Structure 1
Amino acid sequence: MRGMIERITSALDANGLMLRGGFAFPDSDAPHGASGAPARSILLVGQAGAAPWRHFLRWREQQPQAIANPLDTWSRETIGTVAEKFGARAVSPSDKPYLPFQQWAMRAEGLKPSPLGILMHPQYGLWHAYRGALLFEDEIELSERADAIHLCDACVEKPCLKSCPVDAYSREGFAYQTCLAHVRGGNGEPCRSGGCLDRNACPYGTAYRYPPEVQAFHMASFVRAAS
Structure 2
Amino acid sequence: MIENIAAALTYDGLILRGGFTFADGEDAPFGLSGAAAKSVLLVGQAGAAPWPHFLRWREKQSRTVANPLDTWSRRAIGAVAEKFGAHAVSPSDRPYLPFQQWAMRAEGLKPSPLGILTHPQYGLWHAYRGALLFEEEIAIPEPDAAVHLCDTCAEKPCMKSCPVDAYSEQGFAHEACLGHVRGPKGAPCRTGGCLDRNACPYGTAYRYPADVQAFHMAAFAHQY
Alignment of 1:109-188 (within 5 A): 109-188=107-186
Unaligned runs of 5+ in 2: none
The one of 16, 19, 22 equivalent to 2:19 is 22
Q: RMSD over aligned Cα, in angstroms?
A: 0.6
SS at 1:142 equivalent: coil
1:97 alignment partner in structure 2: 95
SS at 1:21 equivalent: strand
For residues 141-175 of structure 1, the C-alpha deviation after alignment (integer angstroms, 9 at most, x for no partner) is: 01122220000000000000000010001111100
SS at 2:12 equivalent: coil
The one of 6, 9, 24 equivalent to 1:12 is 9
| 2-structure distance, mates of 1:123, 1:218 | 22
How far did 1:6 drift? 1.1
Read off the aligned partner of 2:115 and give its amino acid letter.
Answer: G
For residues 92-150 of structure 1, the C-alpha deviation after alignment (integer angstroms, 9 at most, x for no partner) is: 00000000000000000000000000000000000000000000001000112222000
Q: Across the two proteins, how many residue pairs are aligned to each other? A: 223
| 1-structure distance, mates of 2:154, 2:178 | 28
| 2-structure distance, mates of 1:69, 1:207 | 27
* TM norm structure 1: 0.97
1:194 alignment partner in structure 2: 192
The one of 184, 204, 207 equivalent to 1:209 is 207
| Runs of 4+ in structure 1 over 6 Å off | none
For residues 62-98 of structure 1, the C-alpha deviation after alignment (integer angstroms, 9 at most, x for no partner) is: 1101111000000001100100110000000000000
What's the % identity of the aligned pairs?
75
* TM norm structure 2: 0.99
1:49 alignment partner in structure 2: 47
| 2-structure distance, mates of 1:221, 1:205 | 24
Read off the aligned partner of 1:168 and give its amino acid letter.
Answer: A
| 1-structure distance, mates of 2:144, 2:28 | 23
| 2-structure distance, mates of 1:128, 1:19 | 12
| 2-structure distance, mates of 1:124, 1:32 | 31
Read off the aligned partner of 1:40 and give its amino acid letter.
Answer: K
Unaligned runs of 5+ in 1: none
| 1-structure distance, mates of 2:96, 2:223 | 16
How far did 1:225 drift? 1.1
